[in-house]
Structure 1
């Protein structure tokens, strides 16, 4: 069930800049990322074997494709999305033709390049990519709901978006040099949502790892527009001796120079965790004890797009501190 599709028949797949001259075709492999996905897909398309056997076949397929050259891409195969596609299009779910039509659907997540990583790493990356997309989609839906013109007390969408973006900039500015992970958890509301964003910055540049800063800003905007509350934490650790090389991560466009307002980087050793509670349009600093309680529990997996120096949770020796004052840029 590890499906492959050549980009000749799936024009949505983009080539990696600067590698167009590499010989061999571009091939996208769609993978069932969890055993639950495998079981759900098997109900739509019966297959022999168990998930362990499926994983081994997928590993061999990826290995062989890499050996033959060309560009190999991977993308999660979502059984629920596939079944919805088949229902919308009126095609049978157990047909290879239906799978090919689904693979060519432009609405799918963009594929990720595969460079020979272990299969466990690839699958974890794909699961988190899919989770990020779902969080972004839900947050955007909530933002649309809260800013519908028909609602008398609705906050205009542009105002909410400006609020989310400007306060993200304030958080990034205040974080200062270091390797950072921001976490936002909506405390209530119609959906229990959370988002994390990782970035590094020194005195001159800021690197963002993945699209999560945008998702984080959207969740702030949705919380503000809905009039709900959210808890925000910032975990900071010192940068290594060598900053990320060019091309590692994405240089984020915050519209400001990194390194202004460096309250969060006062320590040169260990990790520091700060926190705030978003209430209406106010970011209220948490006490150190509240920050400790609010900081996310240790995660068994690391982020797929994370900096190698960023930490998902604070170390046992972390220092907990109130959030620093935020100074959003003028509108």
Structure 2
């Protein structure tokens, strides 16, 4: 169409531009499937990522475990406040924010392993690796490596006080196992067979434990063994066991490992260890005791069991007997 003219005969450019815009709108309305010139096609995802990539990464993130270090008590916490990069100065505030972090990670479906952050072990780590101690990066590296050898507890929304108690118990158990293992490693060869005395003593301890469980019979039992040492507090180990009516014992393998290691350490060191089994019963528990001499359990008398169970091991002061508990002599093993 030729351009129109105004009343003076000049081309009416404004009218021509209006006609052009009108035709463009008409073309868009009649061809809805045609993309306008100069526009970008819709992107597949964020920054051009293929659809579903964010969802897949979130799924992988849920399957990636997270390690969270925990300062168990005020003493541990005070040791860390000397570092300027440590952001807390109040233990209660630290626990409050730690609890929030754990709950947030759990809500995301993340597997969380809580490990003990030991300030003394951290100092040794920094000296041996020559890493600067006053940096978050070094603390993170230490926490990650501590999970391979140190105590850990799985977080499952348990109260923080319960979590701290479980972690402290696990830390104590590992410390006892490590000290007992060190005693075994210094034992040398067995005089009877020439093999490592540590292996022979551990096998004998396992047989002794099974023999004692068989002697006390079916039921639920709590077993405690304590070994005195020359250079520190006694080495205590505890085990919960259940023996079914057919005589099959059921024990937690980790606790059984620590208990048998302490019993074996008593054999290789020649020290006398004490062992007590408490059989649980709704009508009243029964307590029996033995002394381990050279790996052999010698039964205690009823009076000796009473004295051992009703005496404070640290102060020697008497402890009142528990009501409803029967103190019985140990059972000789065949």
Rounded Cα–Cα distance in structure 2 between residues aligned with 1:172 and 1:65: 42
SS at match of 1:146: coil
CA RMSD of aligned residues (A): 3.0
Q: Is the 8 A contact 2:205 2:295 kept in 1?
A: no
Match in the other structure for 1:111: 152
* Corresponding residue of 1:26: 65
Residue aligning to 1:321: 328
Q: Distance in 2 between matches of 1:146 and 1:157?
A: 6
Contact 1:271–1:315 (CA<8 Å) still a contact in 2?
Answer: no
Counterparts of 1:28-107 in structure 2, within 5 Å, are 28-44=67-83, 46-105=86-145, 107=148
**TM-score scaled by structure 2?**
0.71
Question: 1:278 offset after TM fit, Å?
Answer: 1.3
Structure 2 match to 1:203? 245
Once the two structures are TM-superposed, the CA of residue 215 in structure 1 deviates from its matched residue by 0.6
CA contact (8 A) 2:264 2:295 kept: no
- For 1:187 and 1:103, locate their aligned partners in 2 and report how far apart those are by CA, in whole Å: 32
User: What secondary structure sits across from 1:85 in the alignment?
Assistant: helix
- Structure with greater helix percent: 2
- Residues 186-230 of structure 1, C-alpha deviation per residue, up to 9 Å, x if partnerless? 134444211111122222553324611111101111111111101
Q: Which has the higher contact order (CA 8 A, sep 6+)?
A: 1
Distance 1:25 1:75 in 2: 16
* Native 8 Å contact 1:199 1:207 kept in 2: yes
SS at match of 2:80: helix
The answer (yes or no) to whether the contact 2:88–2:94 under 8 Å persists in 1 is no
What's the offset of the Cα at 1:141?
Answer: 0.3
Is the CA contact 1:237–1:270 (under 8 Å) kept in the aligned structure 2? yes
1:297 Cα deviation (Å)? Answer: 7.4
2:210 to 169, 192, 196: 169
Q: CA deviation at 1:158?
A: 2.6
Q: Mapping of 1:281-292 within 5 angstroms? A: 281-292=295-306
| Counterpart-to-counterpart distance in 2, 1:232 and 1:154 | 27
Matches within 5 A, 1:1-331: 23=62, 25-44=64-83, 46-105=86-145, 107-109=148-150, 111-147=152-188, 156-191=197-232, 192-204=234-246, 205-209=248-252, 211-238=254-281, 269-295=283-309, 315-327=322-334
- Over alpha carbons, which structure has the higher Rg? 2
How far the C-alpha of 1:93 sits from its partner, in A, is: 1.1
Residues 223-243 of structure 1, C-alpha deviations (whole Å, 9 max, x = no match):
1111110110001113xxxxx
Q: CA deviation at 1:21?
A: 9.4
TM-score normalized with structure 1 length? 0.71
2: distance between equivalents of 1:279 and 1:110? Answer: 31
**How has the CA–CA distance of structure 1 residues 160 and 189 changed in structure 2, closer, same or farther, with 3 Å as cutoff?**
farther
Contact 1:288 1:320 in 2 (8 A): yes
The count of residues paired between Structure 1 and Structure 2 equals 263
Q: Distance in 2 between matches of 1:73 and 1:120?
A: 16
Structure 1 stretches of 5 or more lacking a match? 1-19, 239-267, 299-313
Instruction: Confirm or deny: 8 A CA contact 2:274 2:289 kept in the other structure.
Output: yes
